[in-house]
Amino acid sequence: MNNLEGRRARNMRIRLGFLVSLVGMGFGRLVMAAYGLQVERADELRLRAEHQYQRNVGLDPRRGSIFDRNGNPLAVSVPSFTLVAYPNRLAMPQGSTRLRVDLQALAARLGQVTGMPAGEVFERIGNPRTTYSRVRPRLTDAQTLAVRTVLSETSRGLRPGLAANRAAPPLDGIELVEESRRWYPLQEAAAHVVGVVGASGTGLEGLERSLDAQLRGHRIDAPGVRDARGNMVFVDGVRPGEGQAGADVHLTLDATIQTIASRELGLACQMLQARGGSVIVTDPSTGEVMAMANWPTFDPNNLSTVSPDAMRNRAITDRFEPGSTMKIFSVGAALDAGVVRPGQLFNGWGGQWEIGDLTLHDTHVLTWMTPLQVIQVSSNIGAAQIGLALGADGLERAYRRFGFGDATGLPLPGEARARFGGRRWYDVEVATVSFGQGIGVTSAQLAQGLGAVANGGRLVPLLLMSRVTDATGTLLEEHAPASGRPALQPATARLMTEMLTTVTEEGGTGVEASIPGVRVAGKTGTAQKANERRRGYSTDRFVSSFIGFAPAERPRLVVTVVIDEPQDSHAGGLVAAPVFRRIVEQSLRYLGALPGLQRGVVGPLPRPRTPAATTPATRVAPSAEVDEPVAPSGPPAPRLLGLSAREALRRVQPHGLTLALHGSGVITRQEPAPGAPMTAGRPVLVWLEPAGGYTPSPTAAPASVEVLR
């Protein structure tokens, strides 16, 4: 620059200074910006960056289990896999050959192994704009294995050079994610009580719904980061499903008695072509519900074909007119109040009595009758006179003492209350309500009310949930049986028990409920159903019931059986009483409380019981004797093996033969054997066995029979 002229040198220095100044200003600006980013806005920018790659993922905890009184599982969560897809990644080239997946072919194969339409699968995996899709949740073990095979074969097909002995790498964009699903070991048997969980993990019916908050547990937020492919990585090693587990619920149900009740109810309803039915088994001293069964029922493990009607818990939601079973409470209350004496006589009026504009009728006509005979022969006329002696207010107070009018408080959704009406009853209504028409009750309320008679006069609330524990077994809640409140004086309760035993003895309406060696107390009920679209009662639609307890001297079980709209026969003593007998007999044997029999041992074949009166449509053969040997002289016995009770009945009817049934399910043995000569006057003895049920020994006679023709 010394060689330059003075003027040019000066200009050069000016330009160089200006350039250095610009560079200095730019560097200063850069330093200031860096300072602002690294120091002044450091916290803000760090949070923004963390927001882009970090997530707090809500993790669903393990749902609590439901157990019966003996610790047998009724509802548990088991590992399961869900097929998920990332369609935007699945549409990209895969493998060393850079081939794209044939999504149409993949959808067809996945649909075949998962039971889904191929078009539906393609919709969930074929849209490249979709980032995430749940293709098929809660796969079964067989489906999971089949899906793994399909994905492995598809991945191997995209890599022709892969060695045969090497495992194919995962198919990018579709995978199996481990979750959990609900499993119900008893299947249909306890479906209405336990309930069911929906695909979202929320309880839909039964205890799964009413106790959903306790069973579900608490979600936790687990910190994780996303890698370059967008996959979530849990930095603290937390896995899905490891939230705060839900509580475990322990019930008073007994899985064995529950299975017995469900099986016998289902067989009876199907044989009778009934619209529905319910059974409740309770311990009268504690109020514990040992079984609650309904028909129709459903399998909570498979809801694909379940109708809403099958999911209804009829035992608590259906309100019906009970008929003559209410005579227990009207007669008992009148005796307890002293308005009626045990030996007092009531006029039978020749089986027909007019009160107001109503004419009452009796099936069994007695000239004069005591309260015991009113119960034994189920007299509407006698019950009406006893109810009128109590009066409208006295009768309503009596029913409320037995728990009618209030919900039982069971932790189940949808429980109905008894219907008393919104005004005071007139004399005609008092008369009809006394024998169970004009009032609506539920099976659960009948079971609770009868328990007050069986346990000596105290109304003990029904109990279904005994305790709640956390995942470690720590007790969270305990529900002990309540002491109850007085409903009857102990002496009146004992008197009513003796009256009710006459119902199941010779001359009573419920002889089909009697059990050899066991005193059974109970009451039949046959109620016409009200017309749906006009006033009055239907002539061909009935509710048939039997409620009772055994052994009468020291009751172990109270059983309520209700059959809705049975066909052919509708008398409670012919329809519901045999169901009661089979449930009680099997349950007492299981409990070791059947006199003269050890647990699991089959006793001698009892003599069929003859009801006091039969109708042309009766299923009972009153003259059949099955324990006296007679020389074979009849036609050859038909082959009945493998048939249901209904099919066997159709097969023997044209030959004028009768059946003596034991058990339920399909026929596995018969006597006489197929083709052997029949004995005149003797029925064909058949043993039925459900899948996984009790199998009688080849030489044992059935412990209980139902004689059909």
Distance CA 525, CA 160 (A): 76
Distances (CA, A) of 182 to 63, 208, 244: 8, 10, 17
Q: Where are the beta strands (DSSP E) in 23-173?
A: 54-59, 66-67, 73-85, 133-139
Phi-psi map region of 691: left, alpha, beta (phi>0 left; psi -120 to 50 alpha): beta
Task: Report H helices in 318-360.
Answer: 327-337
Distances (CA, A) of 260 to 100, 317, 438, 586, 665: 57, 22, 33, 7, 12
- DSSP string covering 558-622: EEEEEEES-SS---HHHHTHHHHHHHHHHHHHHHT-STT--TT---PPPPPPPPS---TT----T
Phi-psi map region of 304: left, alpha, beta (phi>0 left; psi -120 to 50 alpha): alpha
Residue 535, both tokens: 């006033």
Distance CA 340, CA 382 (A): 11
Distance CA 193, CA 660 (A): 33
Q: Which of 133, 210, 324, 544 is catalytic?
A: 324
- 17-44: burial string, b at 16+ Cβ within 10 Å, e else: eeeeeeeeeeeeeeeeeeeeeeeeeeee
Query: Is 65 a residue of the active site?
Result: no
Task: Look up residue 324 and give its amino acid.
Answer: S
- β-bridge mates for residue 320, sequence order: 441
Distance CA 303, CA 305 (A): 6
What angle (nearest 5°) sits at the alpha carbon of residue 555, between those of residues 550 and 560?
A: 55
Distance CA 524, CA 571 (A): 8
Using a 10 angstrom Cβ sphere, with 0-12 exposed, 13-18 middle and 19 or more buried, the burial of residue 583 is: buried
Whether 625 and 685 have beta carbons less than 8 Å apart is answered as no
Distance CA 662, CA 671 (A): 12
- Count of H-run helices and E-run strands, the chain: 20, 27
Active site residues: 324
